[in-house]
Each structure stands twice: as structure tokens, then as C-alpha cells.
């Protein structure tokens, strides 16, 4: 039997995933992080992107898009506290493309630093969603 770690992925609205995993991969603040059972305790921010969870006895990884948040790792528990989390199967490419275009327009027409920062954050989130959708397509969904 493979070693596992309990994983919880939650947003302010709901619990997205709760269960055992062989490993978790997610976009950390300084780059992609791979978490295995028994990992050293860690607390870090996460960037917008895809969280991949390898569930035992399941060929396909679970994919969850997160728009940023916090990651807490304990030797037997991984907790992702996401600002926003969307199950991979629920991602909407048209909506993400529209959000990307809107953010790009905001960047071009900015009138203040605050608007610029907000537009940059929205653009990063839309691009990360589109990347997650591309990962799903490559897997054949």
C-alpha cells in the first residue's frame, strides 16, 4: 500500500477536496511545490494555478484551480486555504478568456496604481485558469 497524506482544499465558500493522496503539486510563491507524505512542516502563500492531487487507486489526478491563498503542510496533513477554488471539471474557458481580455483592457486604460495592481492580479488569475484548462485538455477531458 502506498504512503498517503490527508489533503484538504477549501475556499471561503466550500470544501473542494478532502481525502487521502499519494502526493500534491501546487504553485507556491517561489515556484512549483511537490508535497509527499511525511513532508517537513511548511507554511507559504500560493499563486494562482492548478493544484494536482494524486489519489490512491485512481489513474487520473484530481485538478483544482486556485486563485491564490495559503498552504500549510504537516507530516500527515496538507491544507490548502484558497482565496477561490474551482474543480478542474467546472472551469469555463470562455469565461476565463473574457476575464483575461477585460483585465488587459483595464491595464491599457488604467488611471491609478490601485487599478493597475487589481488588473494585474485579475490577468494573472485568468492566465492561470487558462493554463489549468489546457492541462485538462492534454489529459483528454
Mean pLDDT lowest among 5-19, 42-56, 90-104: 90-104
21 and 83 housed in the same domain: yes
Q: Measuring CA to CA, how many Å separate 17 from each of 11, 53, 65?
A: 10, 9, 12
Higher pLDDT, 44 or 119: 44
Contact 65, 56 (CB under 8 A): no
Q: Which domain holds residue 30?
A: 5-88
134 and 104 housed in the same domain: yes
13 and 81 housed in the same domain: yes
> d(Cα 9, Cα 22) in Å, to the nearest integer?
15
User: How large is the average pLDDT for residues 75-104?
Assistant: 79
Higher pLDDT, 71 or 100: 71
13 and 60 housed in the same domain: yes
User: How large is the average pLDDT for residues 110-137?
Assistant: 73
Q: What is the chain's mean pLDDT, rounded?
A: 84
Q: Measuring CA to CA, how many Å separate 41 from each of 71, 72, 93?
A: 10, 7, 35
Q: End of a domain among 72, 88, 104?
A: 88
* Number of folded domains that form the chain: 2
Q: End of a domain among 88, 104, 130?
A: 88
CATH of the domain at 61: 2.60.15.10
79 and 32 housed in the same domain: yes
- What pLDDT score was predicted for residue 111? 65
DSSP of 102-121, one letter per residue? HHHHHHHT--SHHHHHHHHH
Amino acid at each position: 500500500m502506498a504512503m498517503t497524506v490527508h489533503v484538504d482544499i477549501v475556499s471561503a465558500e466550500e470544501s473542494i477536496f478532502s481525502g487521502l493522496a499519494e502526493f500534491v503539486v501546487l504553485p507556491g510563491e517561489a515556484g512549483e511545490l511537490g508535497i509527499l507524505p511525511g513532508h517537513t512542516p511548511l507554511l507559504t502563500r500560493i499563486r494562482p494555478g492548478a493544484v494536482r492531487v494524486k489519489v490512491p487507486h485512481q489513474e487520473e489526478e484530481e485538478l483544482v484551480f486556485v486563485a491564490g491563498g495559503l498552504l500549510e503542510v504537516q507530516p500527515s496533513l496538507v491544507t490548502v486555504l484558497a482565496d477561490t477554488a474551482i474543480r478542474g471539471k467546472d472551469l469555463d474557458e470562455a469565461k476565463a478568456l473574457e476575464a483575461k481580455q477585460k483585465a488587459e483592457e483595464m491595464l491599457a486604460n488604467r488611471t491609478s496604481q490601485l487599478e493597475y495592481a487589481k488588473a494585474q492580479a485579475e490577468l494573472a488569475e485568468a492566465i492561470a485558469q487558462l493554463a489549468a484548462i489546457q492541462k485538462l485538455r492534454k489529459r483528454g477531458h
